[in-house]
Amino acid sequence: MPQAPTDKQSDALVRIRGLYFTRGERVIFDGVDMDIPRGSVTAIMGPSGTGKTTLLQLIGGQLVPDRGSVQVDGQEVQDLSRSQLYELRKRMGMLFQSGALLTDLDVFDNVAFPLREHTDLPESMIRDLVLMKLQAVGLRGARDLQPSELSGGMARRVALARAIALDPMMIMYDEPFTGQDPISKGALLKLIRLLNDALGLTSIIVSHDVEETEEISDYIYVISGGRVVGHGTPETLANTDSEWVRQFMRGLPDGPVPFHYPAPDYRDDLLQA
């Protein structure tokens, strides 16, 4: 259900307005507006180092914006008290780049972790729930493995099972495709779509892998230099007017982002010695 951010605003689960964020001297976001509609898979793309992960941390309330607002499900994240924030986070899942599995627990206990921390369910019910979640990501048979025994793709799938353990309303994926072999990528693509549609989730994907992201997302934001430089459905972005977006989406080596880092004239530089 692709849609422009301006219309049907009430449908936006995450609404970002005038976001301004600095880290030290560096301006990471300089006035970002963004709407993430409910029930869709929305991708946030951009070159490395544009603060895509930072954006997820701002949505999750791990960082506080210098100016502007981040609303999740109608709540201003930066104004929430600690306990309200924790309540909100129970309804958010986040898939870290590394999986972030707890290394001292095995697969089963990792998936059971949020259930045990936040519910008083009896052990038998936890077992059922964990096996269901593991079955959903296809790793029910791997429940007794230690995180160190998992491949990168499997670790992410376990982390995904853990992220959906509390049946959240949204999941944020931080670079889910980076460093994955084609089979794992395929599995993740299938899972993201499947979970999104079957569980009625809202998914936010942060990535710079154009191909996979285009394939899966309903709507794409491209950010660069602290601003949104383009947004639209994958199809519209493919035929965009913006030179920059075209360079990024097609992976061209030269364009608005020059191949050469700014340097004095080549000939002068050589002759100087």
Nearer to another protein, 100 or 189 (CB): 100
Least separation in angstroms between residue 175's CB and another protein is 11
Nearer to another protein, 159 or 245 (CB): 159
Amino acid at 261: Y
Least separation in angstroms between residue 123's CB and another protein is 10
Do 211 and 49 form a contact (C-beta atoms < 8 A)? no
Least separation in angstroms between residue 84's CB and another protein is 11
Do 209 and 251 form a contact (C-beta atoms < 8 A)? no
Q: Encoding tokens for residue 183?
A: 């089979």
Q: Encoding tokens for residue 229?
A: 């430089």
Least separation in angstroms between residue 10's CB and another protein is 26
What is the C-alpha to C-alpha distance for residues 43 and 216, in angstroms, rounded to an integer? 9
Nearer to another protein, 94 or 210 (CB): 94
Nearer to another protein, 62 or 151 (CB): 62
Q: Which residues contact 35 (CB under 8 A, 6 or more apart)?
A: 5, 9, 12, 14, 15, 16
What is the C-alpha to C-alpha distance for residues 14 and 70, in angstroms, rounded to an integer? 7
Nearer to another protein, 45 or 56 (CB): 56
What is the C-alpha to C-alpha distance for residues 173 and 205, in angstroms, rounded to an integer? 5
**Which chain residues interact with another protein by CB under 8 A?**
60, 62, 86-87, 89-90, 92-94, 96-98, 100-103, 105, 109, 113-114, 116-118, 159, 162
Q: How many helices (H) and strands (E) does the chain have?
A: 10, 10
Least separation in angstroms between residue 110's CB and another protein is 10
